[in-house]
Amino acid sequence: MAQLVTPDSVEALSTALMNLTAGQAIYISADDFKRLTGEEIAELASEGRLMIGNLAARANCTIETTNCTAVFTKNLARPVSSIGRGH
């Protein structure tokens, strides 16, 4: 279950997203979204949605929005492969 956060700035939201562990989720209210971006959460083609989406992507989170909330879920770590060196 996602936990409600009320960040006082975009930077605070970014920090909260970066600090999530894989599978953990948090959400912000539509009011917080408007306070942080200056735009309504339901405006599909807005600079605010783009900004929040970019924050989520940088933190390796997915984001799902409704008219009331924006839910951020930390993705599982991406697999990293390496090629071993022979001795």
Residue 54 lies in a domain: yes
Full residue range of the structural domain in which residue 43 is found:
3-74
pLDDT at 60: 95
**Mean pLDDT, each 10-residue run in order, the chain (87 residues):** 94 96 96 95 88 95 94 82 55
CATH number at residue 43: 3.30.110
- Any domain includes 82: no
pLDDT for res 86 = 54
Instruction: Tell me, yes or no, whether 60 lies in a domain.
Output: yes
Residue 17 domain-assigned (yes or no)? yes
Q: Looking at the domain assignment, is residue 51 inside a domain? A: yes
Residue 85 lies in a domain: no
The predicted pLDDT at position 44 comes to 82
Number of folded domains in the chain?
Answer: 1
For residue 25, the model assigns a pLDDT of: 97
Residue 4 vs residues 32, 47, 51, 69, 85: alpha-carbon distances, Å: 11, 23, 20, 9, 47
pLDDT at 85: 54
Nearest Cα to Cα of residue 51 among 37, 35, 64: 37
